[in-house]
């Protein structure tokens, strides 16, 4: 049986909010009987764009993570709902707008904070994966269609095919510890859950401080060499996808014609170690 999934590439999201606005366009003031009541104009974020900032000036990166309902296989909201939330055979988790009337407590059942309370309609609501459109033959929901960078992809696939894509594209899920088996997968999630060590290499040559391009920078932990890189034409280097709070690291710098340099640091979160001067 094929089921719907979303694949979201964090590196491609530029925070344009087209997904968010297209969700509003599709659901605000529109009643989709059997699917969901109209979404309020303000307050609800059925696809919620979260932001993560890493590093320190001037070595900073900012990333965005669109976050809809995960359409979980083992959904805590379903367990809490007494029958008002169900999972369809095609994988979409739906809140029945009639049966769920008055059940405000359901907004606390989702570990992803994906359920919103509609005061005017007296119902909990969330992303429906635009099921009313998919049931009419649409190949993708509105937010996926609206994304200008293809950061969002809708994939209708069976478990075997999805497992292949998961491995081939190195996908991850949010909050794996919640064991909800999401149907929404993320690419490049390291921008949210991993950190980097970065810096610059420079030297004082005849009274002029200049950046050093092509210096070999090696990252070690204890005596183990983890990886190495060359500085770019600004003298910058970056080691990414390191675990937070992962202990002590050593950075060694070598450049022909200059003395070697070494820096030791304790990594808690993304760190710009600044400029290492070779002279």
Query: Is residue 151 within the footprint of ligand SF4 (CB under 6 A)?
Result: no
Based on the shown chain and the rule CB under 6 A, indicate whether residue 153 belongs to the binding site for ligand SF4. no
Binding mask 216-245 for ligand SF4 (x = CB under 6 A): ------------------------------
Which position among 8, 10, 13, 69 is part of the footprint of ligand SF4 (CB under 6 A)?
A: 69
Which value, in Å, is the radius of gyration of the alpha carbons in the chain?
24
* Cβ distance to ligand SF4 smaller for residue 29 or 262: 29
CB of 127 to ligand SF4, least distance (A): 3
Site string for ligand SF4, 41-60 (x = CB under 6 A): -----xx-------------
Whether residue 213 contacts residue 233, with contact meaning beta carbons closer than 8 Å, is answered with yes
Q: In what order do the strands lie in the sheet with 247-254?
A: 224-230, 216-221, 247-254, 261-267
Pair 272, 199: CB distance under 8 Å: yes
- Candidates 8, 13, 75, 195; binder of ligand SF4 (CB under 6 A) is 75
Q: How far is the CB of 98 from ligand SF4 (least distance, A)?
A: 18
Pairing mode of beta strands 59-67, 48-56: antiparallel
Q: Is 174 in the site for ligand SF4 (CB under 6 A)?
A: no
Residue ranges in 103-142 that form contacts with ligand SF4 under rule CB under 6 A: 110, 112, 114-115, 126-130, 141-142
With residue 63 as reference, give the H or E element that holds it.
strand 59-67
Dihedral (Cα; 257, 259, 260, 265), 10-degree rounding: -140
For residues 96 and 36, give the distance between their C-alpha atoms in angstroms, rounded to a whole number.
7
Residue 270 interacts with ligand SF4 (CB under 6 A)?
Answer: no
Q: How many residues bind ligand SF4 (CB under 6 A)?
A: 27
Query: In the range 176-205, which residues lie near ligand SF4 by CB under 6 A?
Result: 180
| CA–CA separation, 99 and 267 (whole Å) | 50
**Helix, strand, coil % (nearest 5) of the chain?**
15, 40, 45
Give contact residues for ligand SF4 (rule: CB under 6 A). Answer: 22-23, 26, 46-47, 68-72, 75-77, 93, 110, 112, 114-115, 126-130, 141-143, 180
């Amino acid at each position: 049986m094929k089921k719907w999934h979303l694949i979201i590439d964090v590196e491609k999201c530029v925070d344009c909010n087209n997904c968010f606005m297209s969700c509003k366009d599709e659901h605000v003031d529109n009643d989709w009987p059997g699917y969901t009541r109209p979404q309020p104009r303000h307050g609800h974020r059925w696809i919620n764009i979260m932001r993560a900032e890493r590093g320190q000036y001037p070595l900073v990166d900012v990333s965005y993570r669109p976050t809809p309902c995960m359409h979980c296989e083992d959904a805590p909201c379903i367990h809490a709902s007494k029958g008002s939330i169900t999972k369809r055979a095609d994988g979409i988790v739906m809140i029945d707008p009639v049966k769920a009337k008055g059940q405000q407590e359901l907004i606390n059942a989702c570990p992803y904070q994906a359920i919103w309370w509609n005061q005017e309609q007296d119902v909990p609501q969330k992303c429906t994966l635009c099921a009313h459109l998919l049931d009419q033959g649409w190949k993708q929901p509105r937010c996926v269609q609206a994304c200008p960078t293809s950061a969002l992809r809708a994939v209708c696939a069976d478990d075997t095919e999805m497992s292949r894509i998961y491995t081939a594209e190195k996908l991850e899920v949010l909050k794996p510890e919640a064991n909800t088996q999401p149907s929404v997968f993320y690419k490049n999630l390291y921008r949210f859950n991993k950190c980097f060590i970065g810096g610059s290499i420079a030297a004082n040559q005849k009274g002029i401080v200049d950046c050093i391009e092509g210096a070999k920078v090696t990252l070690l932990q204890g005596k183990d060499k983890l990886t190495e890189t060359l500085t770019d034409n600004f003298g910058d280097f970056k080691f990414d996808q390191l675990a937070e709070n992962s202990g002590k690291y050593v950075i060694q710098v070598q450049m022909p014609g200059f003395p070697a340099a070494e820096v030791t640091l304790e990594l808690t979160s993304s760190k710009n170690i600044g400029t290492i001067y070779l002279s």
